Every structure is written in C-alpha cells, then in structure tokens.
Structure 1
C-alpha cells in the first residue's frame, strides 16, 4: 500500500463516524480554502501485540521516520510522532499508547482478555491500523467499567484501530490569520469546541497553538441496547517559526493532554 492509499483509507474511515469533519472540510473549501493536513492521531495499548512498534510499521514502510517522544503522566500515555522523510507536505503521524502497567488490575485484565479473545493472526495484519475493533466490543457494561478509569481505554474498546482525529493545518489557510479567527468562524457556524484548558491550547511562545471540535456522538449497538458514544473530532493547529526561521514540527505535551479530552463523555455532558 502506498502512502497516499494509506492516508486516504484512514480519512475515509474517519469521516464515516465523524460526519462533522467532512462538513467543516466542505465549509472551508466553499470559502475558497485548500485544506492541508497537519497530523493524524492514532490510539493503542502498549501490549507488545499492538503497541506503537506494531502500529508504526505501515508508516515506516512508506517513508515516515520517528521524531519526538511525549509522556502524559495523568492519562498514563506515551506517544511518538513521525514525519515523512521526503514529502514535506505529508501529514505528521502521532501514535499514542495506554501504559497498561500503570492502570488498575481490573483494566489490565479487561484489555488482556480482549486481546486474547482475538484471532492472534489479526495482529500480524499489515493493515492493522485500519482494522477498527478486532475484538467483540459490544458490551455496554465493559465500556462503562473502562470509562470509569480511562476514557482512552473505553474509546479503544469501541472503535479500535483507526484515526482518532485529523488536523487542519491552519498555517495553510488564506482567510484566517489566527487560530482565534478560525475558532470564531467555526463557532458562528454552529460547531462546539473543546474548552478544556481553554479553547486554544498552547501559545506562540510554545511555537504551537491547537484547538478542536468536540467529538461527534455516534450510535453504538451494544448487546444491552444502543448508546451514543463520542467517536472522533477535528483538530486545528497553528505553528510558529523557531529561531532558525523554520516552523516548529513537534508537539506540546500539556496541550495534547487537553486535546485528548475532545472525546471525553464528561465534556459532552457539560454542554
């Protein structure tokens, strides 16, 4: 699979459960904007069968290289980001994993049982990152028990391996000079933004500003009945030049920590 095929498949899966992203994409295109993608984020567990080293493979195979590493102590996450070696317009890839050993025994057992229940050959699939939920994630009780401890784990239980969010490169937009202008336009068009830690996360001094919509609510048919579960969100990033004049390419952990909360059920209920 080529780089463009991989990225296109990730986008197609993403908009299938995140219709708001496609609507925002079209809204900006109608204003004459050409949308460029800053980065794509993917979630996983740090179990050796599905950890970052497994999910990075298809990206390494199409020319991506590992760059920065990030730790999120409160959410018990570790992440790495990747940049394409030759295509500077290719989106960065951001892969995070839940550090299971830092979680409760109950959560660890639940995740281990999930992974053990799968056809183990599924984890050797070179397209695992596109496979969604390879386990039977249809128990509302399991979902809610995971949610009590880790929204991240609960999201993984339902949605599995797929893009968690795409990100508009705000620097490439012609009609918006600041992220605040873009946010105001989106809100005036009826979109709710993630306000955790402020609607804009990061500062010019940190060389990166980020904002995001709240995740769409998607109907999941559990065995106990249908429940609306936050799916994915659309992010917006504005990068600032470093001392050498080149735009900063990495991420700010404190900002990403709040962006993760765009899929948080509690944030949805606060509206």
Structure 2
C-alpha cells in the first residue's frame, strides 16, 4: 500500500517524513526552550516535540517510525501547535493523516517570532501588528507615540476600529479628507474579514457594538465597500512637533492573515527627523 493505511487514508511514510522535517527546522529558542544543550543534529529533539505537544515520547517516536495508531484530530492539532505549522502546513498535516483540515474559525492572534523580531528591528520607524479584526497584537518602541502604551490597555480594548469611532462628531479628525479615506479603507478591510470568517463571534460582536453606538460607522458599513487595505498617505497632528506626514504601508502576513502597519517617512523629511528625535525618548519595552 506504499505506506498508506487501507480505509483510513493515513500516509504513514509521508507523515513520518513531514514530522521529521518540521522538527529539524526549529530551534529550541523558537519554541521557548533553553538552547544550552549540545546537539548532534539541528532542530528539536523528539522528546521536546512530545513535551510541547503534551504526549508521551513513545507515542511520538512511533509516529516518526511509521508505527502506532491513527492519530486523532486532537493529536494533530497539538502537533501543529508544537511544530509551529502555518495554515498551509497544518492543512497538509491533516491531509496526509487522512483527516479533513479544521476550518479557520477566526483571525489568528498568534504573532510569529520572526514578525516580532522584524518590527523590533525597525528602530526609527513606528510599526505594529494587527489581526484581520484590527486588534493590535504587537508593537515596537516608536509606535507607542502613535497608538499609546498598550501594555496598560486591556487586550479586549486594543482595537483600532473601536478607537476610530470613539471620537466625537465634533472632532476635527472627521473633517480631514485623508483621515476619512483611511477610516473608510479600514472599514472596507473589516468587511472583507467579515466575509472570510462567517460566524466569527469576535468580528460580529465588534460590528454589532459599533452599529449600535456609532451612526457614522453604521453609514460607512451600509455602503458595503469591500477592500483589503493597502498603502495610504497619512497626516497626523502631533501635540509637540506639529503635523507629521508619512506613508502608511500595510505588509500582509499571509499565513496568519495579519498586517504589519508601518509608518514610513520620506527620507530627509522633517517627519523622519522627528521620528529620530522620538527614538531617544522611548524607554518602555516593545509590547505584547
């Protein structure tokens, strides 16, 4: 049968090879384990994967040796988390194990270590990560000057869309054409996520809340504009340094359906000079 269990769809050879390859690509530090042990081969050890997945080392060894029982969906989900599989890899794991891939029920809130390292390395550029619902998940030091110190804000209230529509109608924010374009494009992107995740309670709850509290949001939502956010120019009045102008770039993290929002000033511009001055003022650690 070429390593395939008749009637079960389990491809033991491919499953074993896939697990070994995913294990070999990870370092202990990637999964929060100490890296002080000398290793003959790169990657995690079998017992480390078993520990992370919450299963016995014997059970995991049998999977890599093409033996043992058909893994359950719970076991596959645990392995996907332990091996830090992305969405496509997780779907493939389920397929070769003879199971249907689990549905994506809502926006991912897990920020990959590489994404965190990327925004932290942007020392002169404000950058933060949002999910498809526009919850802020991580931010760098300079972003604190624009989104606030979110370490002091409950995780349930770190939503950009909610912040936008808390501003009173008398706020000059609503008279700025650039800001209105930014708001409308964000709402269009939220509606796109609303379509990608039907039945997601978190997104539905946010939309229901804002429809009941903000007539302006209700008008924008009724337009049924759908658009995945892209770059846009922003002008922000800073209380100390005056108006700042920069390009708001949206970098998409495809496997997590997240966005890295980066404020990019023109080289040599007054805004770039302000960003560099702000760098020295930030003393807090990066968020989330």
Structure ranking higher on relative contact order (CA contacts 8 Å, 6+ apart): 1
Instruction: Compute the TM-score of the two structures, normalised by the length of structure 1.
Output: 0.26
More helix by share: 2
More strand by share: 1
